[in-house]
Structure 1
């Protein structure tokens, strides 16, 4: 039983570390702009996770396209590596946290009527 509890504890610590890494990735200008727009467009709390996933994917797309706009070469991320998917999951967790905070603030400022519209 202790081994199972240790494994669960380590799993939770790993998820928290991923969330912290994703939060650091979102806590940049690009991430904050994406999170604010996502929170403004989000209609209800039930849309948090799909919105966070869309925000993470948009973040990845922008980071791929931005070097091309600056005159650089187009390079896709290594979609077959576990590191890419782990980084995307970390971004998803970070966006989930930041969008939730912004949506909560939106619901306080604009009231329940706007924050829970369907």
Structure 2
């Protein structure tokens, strides 16, 4: 039983570390702009996870396109590596946290009619 509890503790520690890394990635100008727009467009709490996933993908796309706009080479991310998927999952967790915070603030400012499903 102690082994199972240790494994669960390690899993939770890993998830919290990913969330912290994702939050650090979102807590920059690009991430905050994406999260703010996502929170404004999000219609209900039930849309939080799909919205966070879309925001994470948009973040990756912008990071791929931005060097091209600066005159650099077009380089696709290596989507066949575990590092890519862990980074994307970390961004997803970070966006879920920040979008939830922004949506909560939106619901406080504009009232409940904007914070629940229609």
TM-score range normalised by the length of the shorter chain: over 0.9
Query: C-alpha distance in 2, partners of 1:85/1:117?
Result: 31
Q: What is the alpha-carbon distance in structure 1 between the residues aligned to residue 7 and residue 80 of structure 2?
A: 27
Give matches, 1:68-83, under 5 Å: 68-83=68-83
Structure 2 partner of 1:46: 46
Q: Which stretches of structure 1, 4 residues or more, deviate above 3 A after TM superposition? A: none
1:19 matched residue in structure 2: 19
Aligned residues: 118
Give the deviation of 1:114 after TM superposition: 1.5
Cα deviations across residues 51-99 of structure 1 (Å, max 9, x unaligned)?
A: 0000000000000000000000000000100000000000000000000
Partner of 1:62: 62
Aligned equivalents of 1:61, 1:101: Cα separation in 2: 24
* Residues 22 and 90 in structure 2, CA contact (< 8 A), matched pair in contact too: yes
Structure 1: tracts of 5 or more residues without a match: none
Distance in 1 separating the partners of 2:66 and 2:113: 37
> Displacement, 1:115?
1.9
Query: TM-score, with normalisation over the residues of structure 2?
Result: 0.99
Displacement after TM superposition at 1:23 (Å) = 0.1
